[in-house]
Structure 1
Amino acid sequence: MPPSSAFAIPAEAAIAGRQDRRIRLLLLTDTPVLAPGGSERFLQNLATRLPRDQYRVTLVQLHADHMPLPGQVSTRLAGVRLQSLPVHAVYDRTGLRAWLALRALLRAEHFDIVQSQHEKADLLNALMPRNAGTVYISNRRDMGFKKSERLQQVFRHLNVRFNSVVAPARQILSGLAQGERLDSLQMTWIPNGVDTRRFHPATAQARQDARRALGLEQHAVVFGCVARLTAVKRHVDLIDAFAQLHRGNPQARLLLVGDGPLLAPVQERMQALGVADAVVLLSFREDVEAILPAMDALILASSSEGMSNAILEAMACGLPVIATAVGGNLHLVQHETSGLLVPPRDPISLAAAMQALVRSPQLGQRMGMAARSRVEREFSLDAMINSFDQLYRRLLNQRTQRSA
């Protein structure tokens, strides 16, 4: 069924939905699901890769942007019903309108599972009237760095409304146990998955082609970062570290993939430190798998991180990763085995880690091979989808047993 920006359920569709024997899953998110970003890619993968003969998926975004035009089907969400319900704040008129519309949707469609991610979606999910036959899940994607103390207190009371709280990193769950007093029995750890067929080590020819397409010298040492240009990603630290490295290694290059509100300050910093000619700025790209082969290593300088899809994709491509020792990075990057961990907000340590890979290309190659091997063992996309499928069925079975 083509996605629609109109939030309306025709009576015929509601009847057809009740007659459909598949598991009815409602995914609710704050952000535009077709926008760039790790949590958006996660939702795209989950919504489209659950078995279509067993799941009927509806995805509602509490945002107006990045919606397909009327009658236009997004190839990234083929087979998924996508709807938009813009919300400015849960506590204003748009939030009340969203609550009423979602309540009507739940009554009409009788969903088996309602799963939300991000603060607005979680709040609306928690405040929905409970149906005895429905499972309610909160999917936490980051360390909660945006939550005020007051909002944490609100969630301490609302978390009991969820049958399970899922997170891709154990560090996120530990933070929830401490900050929101989440019951350990509610916690479920399901790590992110990466498509190892789409993201794979590049051949020498693919590496040459990728560099040629980006205007990078074949002999250059190329560090890359795939992240939105926002404060939490700390591009300012990365630029400072790269400037230190570049002074002694003029063959070094930095490739930044992503866009965001801090584009202008990043450009100003590059100019001020005299490295603008050594940095390639790319906007958002859907073909990241064609860009990663141009890199010798991936860098993520975030001050807070859940479980980074960018890191997983780089590891799947056989690249070593330099990342800050925060959140899920601690689980993904095995220090001195598959990459290097450095303290956050520390450009000097970041530059030193970059210098270590410049001095020893063999070290980076060994780390990259170890990274690829670990992704194949532990972080495949099939394993992630299977884990969610098992979670859904377990919770639904528990509900059935309680109501029997």
Structure 2
Amino acid sequence: MPPSSAFAIPAEAAAVGRQDRRIRLLLLTDTPVLAPGGSERFLQNLATRLPREHYRVSVVQLHAGHMPLVGQVSSRLPGVQLQSQPVHAVYDRSGLRAWRALRAMLQAEHFDIVQSQHEKADLLNALLPRRNGTVHVSNRRDMGFKKSARLQQLFRYLNPRFDTVVAPARQILSGLARFEQLDALHMTWIPNGVDTRRFAPATHQTRQDARRALGLEQQAVVFGCVARLTEVKRHIDLIDAFAQVHRASPQARLLLIGDGPMLAPVQDRMSALGVADAVVLLSFRDDVEAILPALDALVLASSSEGMSNAILEGMACGLPVIATAVGGNLHLVQHESTGLLVPARDPISLAAAMQTLVRSPQLAQHMGATARSRTEREFSLDAMVQAFDQMYRHLLDQRAPRRA
């Protein structure tokens, strides 16, 4: 269906919807669903991979950006209805307008499940009137590092309004129990999944081709970071660490894949430390699977992390991962097995881990192979979607009858 910025639902469409016996799922998100971030990729995968014969999926993005073209929606979100309702803040007129529009949607279309992710969507979901048979789910994608003490207090009050709070990392749920007093009976853990066919170990030829395309020497030891250039991703720490590695091993190179507000400070630090010629800035890329074959290892220096899709994609490509010991990284990266964990905001420890892999290529290859095996075994995309399907059906059974 074509995207729309309005919520008006023709009576005949609503009537058809009521005759459709598929599970009706409404996904709410603060961000543009076709944006390149990890939480957006998760939503795209979930919305398009749930079995279409059993689910009818609608997505509402509470974002002020322009709606994508019809062709983009049909190609990247086939079978999904996408609408937009910009919200500046839940407590202003835009928030009230969105709440009213969502309430009208629920009354007209009788959704079985309303699932939200990010703060605005969660607040609106929690404040919607409850309808018999409708399940409300909060999907937490990060450690909540942006939440103020006041907002945490508000969620302590609102969390019981959700039938469950689902998260991709146990560390996220532990943080919710600690800071928002979330009851364990309201928690569900479903790890992220990765497309292990799209992200796969490189052949010798694809590795050579990828390096040639990026202007990298075949003998270089290449580290890569796939993350938006934001403060929480701590690219400055990574540049500091890489400068130490490059002084000891001049063949080392660093690829930064992503854009964001920290670009200028990162460039300034590269110049100040004399490593600008050894760092490749690639900005945003939608073909990460074509770049990862050029790497010897993936690095993530975040000060806070949920469950990183970038780490999963690197592991699926058979890369060892160096990551900070925060959030979901602790679950994904098995220290000295699939990669190395280091303290956050500690460039010296980060440099030491990177230098370990420079000096021990056989160790790096062994860790990468182990990471690939673990990804295939525990983090497949099919397993993630199946887990959400099972959770939805379980919650609906508890709320039966689910049809109006």
Query: Please, what TM-score do these two structures have when normalized by structure 2?
Result: 0.98
Q: Which residue of 2 aligns with 1:38?
A: 38
Quick one: distance in 2 between partners of 1:403 and 1:75? 31
What's the counterpart of residue 282 of structure 1?
282
2:255 paired residue number: 255
Contact 1:3 1:72 in 2 (8 A): no
- Alpha-carbon offset, residue 269 of structure 1: 1.1
Q: How does 1:1-400 map to 2 (within 5 A)?
A: 1-65=1-65, 67-69=67-69, 73-400=73-400
Instruction: Spell out, residue by residue over 1:122-177, the C-alpha distance to the aligned partner (whole angstroms, 9 max, x if none).
Output: 00000000001100000000001000111000000000100000000000001101
Look up the SS of the partner of 1:73 in the other structure.
helix
**Unaligned 5+ runs, structure 2:** none
- The CA distance in 2 between the partners of 1:372 and 1:346, in whole Å, is 27
Aligned letter for 1:34? L
Change (3 A) 1:384 1:72: closer
CA deviation map 1:364-403 (0-9, x unaligned): 0000000000001100000000000000000000001799
CA–CA distance in structure 1, aligned partners of residues 374 and 73 of structure 2: 36
Comparing 311-320 with 2-11, which one deviates more in the overlay? 2-11
AA at the equivalent of 2:107: R
Q: Is the 8 A contact 2:300 2:324 kept in 1?
A: yes
CA contact (8 A) 2:142 2:305 kept: yes
Q: Structure 1 pair 357/174, CA: closer, same or farther in 2 (3 Å)?
A: same
Q: Unaligned stretches of 5+ in structure 1?
A: none
Give, in whole Å, the separation in 1 of the partners of 2:352 and 2:256: 19
Tell me, in whole angstroms, the C-alpha distance in 1 between the residues paired with 2:347 and 2:293: 25
Deviation, structure 1 residue 8: 2.9
The one-letter amino acid of 2:339's match is: G
Distance 1:101 1:399 in 2: 24
Give the letter aligned to residue 164 of structure 1. Answer: T
Q: How many residues matched? A: 404
Moved more, 307-316 or 266-275: 266-275
Q: Are the equivalent residues in 1 in contact too, given 2:7–2:105 (CA < 8 A)?
A: no
Separation (CA, whole Å) in 1 of partners of 2:282 and 2:88: 30
1:329 Cα offset (Å): 0.2
Q: Secondary structure of 2:400's match?
A: helix
**What SS is found at the alignment partner of 1:271?**
helix
Find the aligned partners of 1:9 and 1:225 in 2 and give their Cα distance.
Answer: 44
Q: Which moved more, 1:59-68 or 1:272-281?
A: 59-68
SS of match in other structure, 1:260: coil
What is the identity, as a one-letter code, of the residue corresponding to 2:276?
A
Match of 2:191, SS state, is coil
Residues 357 and 66 from structure 1, CA distance in 2 versus in 1: closer, same or farther, beyond 3 angstroms? farther
Counterpart contact for 2:112–2:403, Cα < 8 Å: no
Q: Write the deviation string for residues 228-252 of structure 1: whole angstroms up to 9, x where unpaired.
A: 0001000000000001111111111
Quickly say closer, same or farther: Cα 1:71–1:225, change in 2 above 3 A: closer
Cα contact 2:133–2:402 (8 A) shared by 1 = no
Map Cα deviations across residues 338-386 of structure 1 (whole Å, 9 max, x no partner): 0000000000000000000000000000000000000011000000000
**1:13 CA drift (Å):** 1.9
Query: Equivalent pairs: percent with the same residue?
Result: 83
SS at the partner of 2:165?
A: strand
Contact kept in structure 2, 1:199 and 1:289, CA below 8 Å = yes
Separation in 2 of the partners of 1:304 and 1:72? 32
Contact 1:3 1:80 (8 Å CA) reproduced:
no
TM-fit CA distance, 1:66: 5.4
